[in-house]
Structure 1
């Protein structure tokens, strides 16, 4: 069914939005919300079959084409090729949601136990991938373009036993602030959203005690679902949010205050 829980059903009409990590979970929910707000979408994910099914479903629900490309955020050539495809098809884009990332070792190993290969892969996808995707699409950004980076509140409260992921999301927050000053003169706004643990397929492996920590520690207790996040992301992609550039919004039902 079409997604209805959005702040303004027409606020993204006519805008071309790229969303990474959009095959399932939070990325899929963000894509549905943007489609409900009128955006034309291009989805990217390493999961080819799931991504194509998501694109086809959203296209059917909202009655407009949805593009999909398989993209490996750990591969610079894959990202560059995707940027060329967007340029050749659209010429210009009005928004980017850097949602694609990997989360590993949640509530698991201490910092001295983390495998170096695991550390490098998390940083390569979550940090370098976010930078390279932004760089690849930057020449195509219209003056009204908006970027939303998905960070994590783990970087705001210093979650233990999760150093590789926490460090990567801290870097995303830092990049958001720096890029706001580099892109601002072009009229481009960028912000970060920092959710807590969101109940999706990607977090099914998270230990129960970690879920309980969040769900019992929120000002509004309980689990957090993708639908709790997407309205904020949609709003940040609109003209209403330009003055929020460089900011980090902890959308986590009050687990962390900033």
Structure 2
């Protein structure tokens, strides 16, 4: 595993904390050179420094997925820093958008979630395409969610956005297959991270009660799937969505 991504150049959005940070550490320990990008500028720089102090090749950049110019700057800086790009992990998203019914949900929140989670994923992927094409080993990994697979209630904006990411993954896979670029989605369940602390205890209990694997899900549980999707082990797999949720959803 330590050489599974040897010398691969990988950009991970939303890498300041939580799942994105776990993906970054896992990819770097597998031999990748990694850039983590996040709107939390101080946090992403601190996280990158902490990983670099462990001897891992990780650096941090600022990124606002709601701003197309920020996306272009981030990708240009990443390609310059790494000398190209082999893998993109579209992990960044707005998660704290639940707790209200479809009637209570504000239009502004709905628009903001889709702007970042859907449009931002599209624009980030589009900006990375020249470098990914040049790589010859291009891999895009979109972080979806299992919420659209089972229809999570009172989470409409987020669920809709992640359903769109799954659909977009399939379209992108067909469009980019001729360039040798794979595009796959990973759909985690409810992971115990800072970004999900707002989720009510009853929702956590629902997952625990109905998972085939009777324990909490942690970031390490998702890292293997992302590593697989970035590696040569999955070069003939594209357009797929892999639920990683302990058997809560079995499509």
Same fold (TM over 0.5): yes
Selected match of 2:175 from 157, 177, 182: 182
Selected match of 2:59 from 67, 77, 86: 67
Q: Does 2:92 match 1:100?
A: yes
Deviation sequence 1:47-90 (CA, Å, 0-9, x none)? 111101111111111x2442211100111111011122223333
| C-alpha contact 2:94 2:117 (8 A) present in aligned 1 | yes
| C-alpha contact 1:105 1:161 (8 A) present in aligned 2 | no
Q: Does 2:30 match 1:41?
A: no
Corresponding residue SS for 1:139: helix
Find the counterpart in structure 1 of residue 240 from structure 2: 247
Corresponding residue SS for 1:101: coil
Supply the distance in 2 between the matched residues of 1:47 and 1:89 (Cα, whole angstroms).
20
Supply the distance in 2 between the matched residues of 1:64 and 1:105 (Cα, whole angstroms).
34
Corresponding residue SS for 1:179: helix
Supply the distance in 2 between the matched residues of 1:143 and 1:24 (Cα, whole angstroms).
30
- The list of structure 1 runs, each at least 4 consecutive aligned residues, that deviate by more than 6 angstroms after superposition, is none
Residue 243 of structure 1: CA displacement?
2.1
Supply the distance in 1 between the matched residues of 2:93 and 2:201 (Cα, whole angstroms).
22
Selected match of 1:211 from 186, 204, 212: 204
Corresponding residue SS for 1:93: coil
Find the counterpart in structure 1 of residue 23 from structure 2: 30
Supply the distance in 2 between the matched residues of 1:105 and 1:64 (Cα, whole angstroms).
34
Q: Does 2:116 match 1:125?
A: yes
Residue 104 of structure 1: CA displacement?
2.5
Find the counterpart in structure 1 of residue 106 from structure 2: 115
Most deviating of 88-97 and 33-42: 88-97
Under a length normalisation based on structure 1, what TM-score does the superposition of the two structures give? Answer: 0.94
Find the counterpart in structure 2 of residue 4 from structure 1: none
Deviation sequence 1:122-155 (CA, Å, 0-9, x none)? 0011001101110111111111011110000001
Find the counterpart in structure 2 of residue 20 from structure 1: 13
Structure 2's unaligned 5+ residue stretches are none
Supply the distance in 2 between the matched residues of 1:222 and 1:105 (Cα, whole angstroms).
25
| C-alpha contact 1:13 1:37 (8 A) present in aligned 2 | yes
